Amino acid sequence: RTLLGAAGLAALAGVLPRASKAQDAPKYTVALIPGLTTDAFYITMNRGAQAAADALGVELVFQGAPNFNPVEQVPVLDAVIARQPDAILIAPTDTTQLVEPLRRAADAGIPVITVDTFIGTGKYQTGAGDADFPLSYIASDNVLGGRMAARALAEAIGGEGAVYVSNVNPGISTTDQREEGFKLEMSENFPNIEVLETQFNNNDANNAASQLQAVFARSPNLKGVFGANLFSAIGAANGVQQAGQTGTIRVVAFDAPQSIVDNIKSGLVDMAIAQHPAEIGWFGVAAAYAHLTGQSIPVAIGTGFTVLDSSNVDDPEVAKFIYSE
Ligand code: T6T
């Protein structure tokens, strides 16, 4: 009986398949540029993106700005373009101001997919307009989410009284659409609810909290507030608490970080509409990989919502949609 020597072992290893694709040197690098880096929503998106990258043997680079605005995001994008990744996934922070910067990526031959937010109208690959060049848009249905928030808030306040939207800034596709859906639902179905002027907080929860108190001081009939994203909702809820109005001014939140879940448990917040950011990230990387390997990809991919309230926050099937920090 012959024993296989070192040379024989090496020869054998050469003909055996590798244990998995992921052990090979990554063939493609995909960059994920979030709206901002320190936001549980985008951190969760990156977790989903990394899971897909690991499965596909893709190198994923997560690079973003510390605040949600085009002035800080565009230089990050330019730096990413200079490194020539194989594809860019980006949550553009403004529907118009990111068009030209993203065209620079497309002109450099880098495929662009937008995740969470869109540029232009969000209808891509139509041959119309100047912002249809991204290959795909992967996101929640934000108009629907706004309508869901309106229905929940209307129910919480018994169909009457004043409410308002605590929002980030105009020009952001997601939060604009949530406000649009909220107002449509209110005007179509809740005639006894007055929707006061939207308060823009520049994605700063402290602003949102002081605005809540100012609106309440002006409009003592204030019965509810819709926090249209994570920071708006956290701030609006804090404002309600600081005003001593917990349970009297009702709060519906978009997004589901742990602090909002704690506020649901304490009764400060009535419900939260959790997006599925990990799915957005996972499908973003999968779509980029599909495109890079010669497959056609959907021009839009819609991800869902999970509604969290006091009746289900502890259910593990629901709790898994709480965002990672
Ligand atoms: O609500 C998300 C995201 O969908 C939106 O575009 C910006 O704000 C968040 O990141 C939450 O902070």
Token pair of 252 as six digits: 């519906």
Assess whether pLDDT exceeds 80 at residue 305: yes
CA of 229 to the centre of ligand 1 (A): 5
The Cα–Cα gap between 32 and 114 comes to 10
Pocket lining: 230 vs ligand 1, CB cutoff 6 Å: yes
Residues 6+ apart with CB under 8 A from 20: none
Q: Which of 32, 114, 255, 279 to mutate to test the pocket of ligand 1 (most atoms within 8 A of CB)?
A: 255
Q: Which of 117, 143, 175 to mutate to test the pocket of ligand 1 (most atoms within 8 A of CB)?
A: 175
ipTM over 0.95: yes
Q: Measured from the CA of 231, which atom of ligand 1 is nearest?
A: 12
What angle (nearest 5°) sits at the alpha carbon of residue 68, between those of residues 62 and 70?
Answer: 95
pLDDT at residue 207 in the model? 98
Token pair of 58 as six digits: 């893709």
pLDDT at residue 12 in the model? 47
Assess whether pLDDT exceeds 90 at residue 132: yes
CB 218 within 8 A of CB 184: no
21-70: pLDDT as tens digits: 445 677 999 999 999 999 999 999 999 999 999 999 999 999 999 999 99
pLDDT at residue 279 in the model? 98
Pocket lining: 255 vs ligand 1, CB cutoff 6 Å: yes
In this prediction, residue 255 has a pLDDT band, given cuts at 50, 70 and 90, of very high
- What burial class does residue 4 get, using C-beta atoms within 10 Å of its C-beta: 0-12 exposed, 13-18 middle, 19+ buried? exposed
Assess whether pLDDT exceeds 90 at residue 2: no
Mean pLDDT of 219-223: 98
Mean pLDDT of 256-270: 98
Which pairs with CB-CB distance under 8 Å and at least 24 residues apart come from 3-9? none
In this prediction, residue 265 has a pLDDT band, given cuts at 50, 70 and 90, of very high
pTM of the model: 0.92
pLDDT at residue 23 in the model? 55
142-171: pLDDT as tens digits: 999 999 999 999 999 999 999 999 999 999
Mean pLDDT of 164-190: 98
Pocket lining: 231 vs ligand 1, CB cutoff 6 Å: yes
The Cα–Cα gap between 48 and 51 comes to 5
Q: Measured from the CA of 277, which atom of ligand 1 is nearest?
A: 4
Q: Hey, whose CA ends up nearest to atom 2 of ligand 1?
A: 229
Assess whether pLDDT exceeds 50 at residue 19: no
Pocket lining: 277 vs ligand 1, CB cutoff 6 Å: no
CB 193 within 8 A of CB 151: no
Q: How many CB atoms lie within 10 A of CB 246?
A: 17
Assess whether pLDDT exceeds 80 at residue 11: no
